[in-house]
Structure 1
C-alpha cells in the first residue's frame, strides 16, 4: 500500500509516522507513507497557499492551484483508488471504513487548514470525504494520521499477532471485553477465575458475553444498528 498525504504543515506529521507500528510497517516495506508539502507546489515566489475568501468573512482558504498542481503531479506517477479530503462534514470514520480502505493499493489524503479548501478542489478531484468526529481541529493533519494508523494496522503482517486486529473493538460490532495481565491479584482485585482456568472455549464464551455486556452498557447504539 502507498499513502500520500498533502499538507501545508508537514512537520505536524513527522512524529506519528516515525515510531511504533507505523514505523515498523514502513521498514518492513508493507506500506509507503509520503508527506507532501503543499508550499512546494505554490505558483508564486513566496510559496503562498492560502488567500481570503470571496464574499468576505473571517479566515483564510487554501487556494485551488497549489492543491491541483500537487494532485496532478502525484497522479502522473500512479492511479489512486481514493483521493480523500479530511473534513468535518465528511462521512463518519468508523471501523468499517478502515477495513474498506485497507483493501486499496494507493490512497491520497488532502489535509484542509484554516477555513478549508477551495470548493472546486472538492468538486474536481476528491472521491471521498471523511470526518473523524463532530468537532473542528486546526487542520486535517491529525485526522489524516488517525485514518492512516487505523488503516495500516489492518494490513497483513503489520501486527505481530495476526489475530490482534480481528479482536479489536468494533470489528464485530462490539466493544472489546476486559483484559488482564499479571499479577493475578492487585490490592484485593482478582483476575476472573475463568481466565486462569485454561479452558479455551469457556474463556472465549466469557469474552463474548463480556463484550456484549460492555457494549450494552456503554454503546447501546452499536447493538441497534
Structure 2
C-alpha cells in the first residue's frame, strides 16, 4: 500500500483569515459605514468566495463588537458612539489605576528594562522622520500598556484589560483623520508614565494615567461628534 500525502487544510484556513482581515480592515477604515447592512450573498460575490468564510468572518467580527447580528435582520455595522467610548475608557481608567497601585514600587530592573523596550517601540511609531503609522502605533501602544497591567500580577485583571475594545474602537475613530498633532503630547505622557514606574512614584503615575486616558477619550468624542454623532 502506498502512503498518500494528503494536503494540509492550510488553504481553507488561510481563506477564512483573509476574508476576516479584509472585512475587519474595511470596518476599521470606515469603508463600511455605521448601520450599513452586510449581506452574506453580496459580500460573497464581491469577494469571490463562498458564503462560509464570510459567515465565519462576520461571526468573529460580531464577537469583537464591530458587527451587530440580530435574528431575521442579519448583520449590520455597529455604530460607534460617544457612549460606547466613554464606557470603555471608564473601565480602562479603573483597571490601569488598580494595576499601578499593585505594581509600582515592585518592579525588578529586568521588568523596567522590558517596559523601556516596549516604550521605545511605541515612541518609534511617532518619530518625526516618518509619517505616523496608526496601525503600528495601536499595536505598540497595546503592548506597552498591557505589560504594565501584567506587572500587577493578577491574571483576571490582565484578562479583562486584554478584552477591552478601546484600542479597536480608537483605530476605527482615528482612521482617515489627521491627528499627528497629538504625537508630541502622547510621547510626553508615555515617557512620564514610564518615569513614574521607574521611580516607584504612585501619585505621579496616577496623574499621568488620568491625563492620558482623558486625552484619548476627549479626542475620540470630538471626532465622533464631528462625524455627526456616530461612525
TM-score when normalising by structure 2 = 0.27
Structure (1 or 2) with the greater helix fraction: 2
Larger Rg: 1
TM-score when normalising by structure 1 = 0.27
